[in-house]
Structure 1
Amino acid sequence: MTGTVARHGAPGPNAEPFAERLSEHLVKGIDGLVESADVIDSTFGTALLTLRARCVVDPRAAAVETWEAAVNAMQLGSALFAVTGVSEGSVECRINRKLRTIPAVGPLSTADAGNWLTAFWLAVVCRDQTRMTQLCEIPLERLRSPEGQYDEYVYHWADVLQTYWLQRPGLVDKLIAAIEASDPAVVRVAPRDLLQGVLYPPINLFYHFVRKDEEGFSPALVEALKLHKAYWTLDEDREADIDGSIALGPLATACLAYDGEIPIEVESEYLPKHLLQRGWLGEFPT
């Protein structure tokens, strides 16, 4: 039986023009990176906003523009960590269908665990295994925020994903450590509603995925989407926030499960169908 989780809200009359304006602004920002990459983190943020705006008007990701937005966001997320990993010279990065030579930036505080998780999820959704590997080879210490911006479980979680993808030993123990460290009784930085509604569900989904729990995965995915929806509809400000248009962590984990031939018996616009089912893969070089 297929579970359904309806997405909150509906695109207004200005949704399409808004997405188009964002796309135009993003292209200008990408073109400017060859001169200076000092604001590559904000360009990445614009790319994420563009992807979410595209998913508002195209919730099934049936249009090539939505796939292009996903690829651009993925490429910029990976580029953020590439240019901040070196302090001299330049880095070759393919972004928006072109191979670009981008000046090195050196360490940026925004090249942290939070943005790493987002960049990794995007690489999973786009099925770019090379970028997944590159991201997983980044040392965990490089992802630590000097301001103590994240709870410790975030670093455990990043370690779990790196261990899984690079097939390192100790995956089960690390996953248990991540689950224990994400207990609301232990977490001190993340607000409880954000933790329970957005941050923890991908960890729970991954637990079902690595156990190859075909019976439990889809119910856990439905629960994750319901929690996502509850978080983003708590008040009017959140409901109007475009960040809630897709559930990126659950989407990426569902992509892993889909590729692992675990049945996905869930339909939701929070999980754009053609991103989940890799319908655009191979449309153009990524």
Structure 2
Amino acid sequence: MTVNIARHIAPRPDAVQFAEQLGDDLAEEIDDLESSPEMIDFTLNSAVMNLRARCVVDPRAAAVETWEAAVTAMQLGSALFAVTGASEGIIESRIDRKMRSLPAIGERSTADAGNWLTAFWLAVICREQDRMTQLCEIPLERLRAPEGQYDEYIYHWVDTLQTYWLRRPGLVEKLTATFEASNSSVARIAPRDLLDGVLYPPINLFYHFVRKDEEGFSPALVEALKLHRLYWTLNEDREADIDGSIALGPLAIACLAYDGEIPIEVESDYLPKHLLQHSWLGEFPT
């Protein structure tokens, strides 16, 4: 039996115009990257916001503009780590339907584990396996942020995902370490409600996925979406925040499960149908 989890956020009267304006602004930011590559982290944030805005007005991701928004965000996520992975030379990256020549900028603090997770989720959702591999080959130490920015669990989590995708040994031990470090009695930096409602659920979902737990995956996904909704409806400011429009981490893990033929007995606008089912895959170069 399929469970439906209603999304809390509804389009405002000006939602379409807002999304279109975000898209126009993003296109200008992307055009400026060849002369200002150091702005790529800011542009990635704009692209993710644009994707969320598109999903507000197109909750099933049935429009090609929504798929383009997902692809553009994914391309920028990969480009962030490409241009910060070299200190000289030009990085050729396809972004927003064009090949861009981006000067390398060397290491930046924003090329960290948090943005790595965002980039990886986007690559998973877009089924960009080569980009997933490139991201997973980035050394973990390169992703460390200044002390005090993240709990240690995030590095165990990145290590777990890299180990899974590259088929390295030690997956069980690394996932166990991730569980232990993400416990609210251990984590000290992430707020408790953020940890429980947004950061931990993808880890739990991944556990059911790697175990090929067909009976347990959909209930865990239902729980993840309910926790997502609970977090984003805690107060009026959060409820109006576009960041809650989709559940990016759970969506990415659900994409892995869908491709692995694990039944997804959950429907929700937090998981846009055509992103989950990769309906637009191959429509244009990525």
Aligned pair count reads 286
Does the aligned pair in 1 maintain the 2:59–2:272 contact within 8 Å? yes
Deviation at 1:147, TM superposition (A): 3.6
Unmatched tracts of structure 2, length 5 or more: none
Which residue matches 1:238?
238
Question: Take 1:135 and 1:166, find their aligned partners in 2: how far apart are those partners?
Answer: 10
Structure 2 counterpart of 1:29, which letter?
A: E
Which residue matches 1:265?
265
Question: Take 2:12 and 2:186, find their aligned partners in 1: how far apart are those partners?
Answer: 41
Which residue matches 1:248?
248
Whether 1:92 aligns to 2:89 is: no
SS of the equivalent of 2:37 reads coil
What's the RMSD between the two structures over aligned residues?
0.5
Which residue matches 1:23?
23
| Identical positions, percent | 77
Equivalent runs, 1:1-286 vs 2, <5 Å: 1-286=1-286
**Alignment deviations for residues 219-267 of structure 1 (CA, whole Å, 9 cap, x no partner):** 0000000000000000000000000000000000000000000000000
SS of the equivalent of 1:165 reads helix
- The more displaced of 142-151 and 258-267 is 142-151
Question: Take 1:110 and 1:103, find their aligned partners in 2: how far apart are those partners?
Answer: 17
Runs of 4+ in 1 over 2 A off after TM superposition: none
Unmatched tracts of structure 1, length 5 or more: none
**Alignment deviations for residues 43-89 of structure 1 (CA, whole Å, 9 cap, x no partner):** 00000000000000000000000000000000000000000111111
Question: Take 1:280 and 1:226, find their aligned partners in 2: how far apart are those partners?
Answer: 27
Question: Take 2:116 and 2:74, find their aligned partners in 1: how far apart are those partners?
Answer: 11
Does the aligned pair in 1 maintain the 2:19–2:50 contact within 8 Å? yes
Question: Take 2:17 and 2:104, find their aligned partners in 1: how far apart are those partners?
Answer: 34
